[in-house]
Amino acid sequence: MSEIRHNWTKEEILEIYNKPLMELLFEAAQIHRLHHDPNAVQVSTLLSIKTGGCSEDCGYCPQAARYHTDIEGNDLMPVQVVKAQALRAKASGSSRVCMGASWRNVKDGPEFDEVLEMVRTINKLDMEVCCTLGMVTENQAKRLAEAGLYAYNHNLDSSEEYYKEVISTRGYQDRLDTIGNVRKTNVTVCSGGIIGMGESIEDRAGMLVALSTLDPQPESTPINALVAVEGTPLEDQKPVEIWEMIRMVAATRIVMPETQVRLSAGRTQMSQEGQAMCFFAGANSIFAGDKLLTTPNPDVNEDMKLFQKLGLNPMKPFTKKVQPRTVESADSEFIAQGENPKWTRPEHKIDRNEEAKAKAKEIRAELKEK
Ligand code: SAM
Ligand code: DTB
Ligand code: SF4
């Protein structure tokens, strides 16, 4: 086994990222084999349980209310609908359901209670349950753990420096603090980011420094390629080249040998050969299902055909860690604290976010006139 290091520097990671490709692939594939079954790929299904209307200004996100995008917003999905979707996901070979909500942070109250019920319901289907609900306090993380949550997704998204160019309404330290709160429980941490937002290779390495120096490192790391959605500040970003994705996956695998590296948003733009190279470079998880949260994803049957061609097998649930126990709400040790924590709002000005917001205002005014 290669050692797990928590002291990677940006310079070291840049050197890895920029290696001649064949050497990079060979090194990453060797490390992958030491720590994982190279033919096993974990399959997660995303479920947007609350869509759109978000207060934040994340420059990549079609769900931010201030931009004008073509998505359909929804209130919180009922538990029974979530259960039906989870059963469908299980039948199509998924071992994990990841529920996403367009929230800045979790607020104690009836909606969070519903989410806890969703977690209990899916855990009882013997599937891994993941949530991505924005910032969480320690008490909220503990309540999720008690309900049987397996993983919490909270991405750093980019380097601390480039994060400031993309988001002004929430701070990097808040993200790290949320990850810290999840770490105080038995819930595993899923944290990664996005490439293709106009960041430099130094920023990509910076993000990997931030992730790999966490101790313990995240159990899973999604690598998203930006899906440039019309109306968002990043709508004009060029798609990332497959080579960049392969390099990013390989570098992630090398600095975080035990982490499940997830090929996430952006797979519709990737060829099957490109995805195969990402699996060779150490990716061992995907999001499956014809939709991510609001944007398209490859057809699940096509994914399964690709798995067959490559001899890959979907991983069984709880392969890496035992299934958590679900405590019913009546037996809960924790009470809602009605918290309104002081998560920061840096609120600096990001020109392209301001422009997208102004454009959205104009479009809305025009639509009103019609
Ligand atoms: N609202 C919560 C939050 O921001 O933490 C959870 C949902 S949010 C949509 C989850 C993650 O999806 C983001 O952190 C970002 O990494 C990713 N994401 C959102 N929009 C994306 C896009 N257009 N392309 C690629 N990844 C995206
Ligand atoms: C993650 O890193 N990627 C997923 C999941 N975690 C929540 C979300 C991707 C969203 C892509 C844009 C959309 O479909 O809205
Ligand atoms: Fe809201 Fe999350 Fe989208 Fe940011 S990424 S706008 S917090 S849903």
Give pLDDT tens digits for 202-258.
999 999 999 999 999 999 999 999 999 999 999 999 999 999 999 999 999 999 999
What is residue 3's predicted lDDT score, i.e. its pLDDT? 82
Q: Return the pLDDT at 48.
A: 97
Strands (E), 7-77: 40-50
What is d(CA 320, CA 226) in angstroms, rounded to the nearest whole number?
A: 29
pLDDT digits (tens, 9 = 90+) for 172-200: 999 999 999 999 999 999 999 999 999 99
Distance of CA 173 to the CA centre of its chain: 18
| Residue 1: pLDDT over 70 | no
Question: Which has the closest alpha carbon to 235: 268, 292, 197?
Answer: 197
**Ligand 3 pocket by Cβ (under 6 Å):** 54, 56, 58, 61, 63-64, 102, 104, 134
Catalytic residue among 131, 143, 190, 253: 190
pLDDT tens digit string along 121-162? 999 999 999 999 999 999 999 999 999 999 999 999 999 999
Kindly write down the DSSP assignment for every residue of 287-322, as one continuous string. EESSBSSSSB---HHHHHHHHHHHT-EEPPTTSSSP
User: 155 CB less than 6 Å from ligand 2?
Assistant: yes
Q: What is the pLDDT of residue 342?
A: 85
* Confidence (pLDDT) at 71: 95
207 φ, ψ (degrees, to nearest 5): -65, -40
> Please, is 222 exposed, middle or buried when counting C-beta atoms within 10 Å of its C-beta (0-12, 13-18, 19+)?
buried
The encoded tokens of residue 240 equal: 């990332």
* Catalytic one of 61, 120, 143, 170: 61
Show the domains of the chain with their CATH numbers.
10-326+337-369 (3.20.20.70)
Do the beta carbons of residue 119 and residue 144 sit within 8 Å? Answer: yes
As given in the structure block, the two tokens for residue 81 are 């609908």
Nearest CA to ligand 1 atom 4: 134
Q: Of 143, 247, 262, 267, which is the active-site residue?
A: 262
Residue-wise pLDDT tens digits, 272-284: 999 999 999 999 9
End-to-end Cα spacing for the chain = 65
Q: Any idea which ligand is nearest the CA of 54?
A: 3
227 lines ligand 1 (CB under 6 A): yes
Phi-psi category of residue 266: left, alpha or beta, with phi > 0 → left and psi -120 to 50 → alpha: left
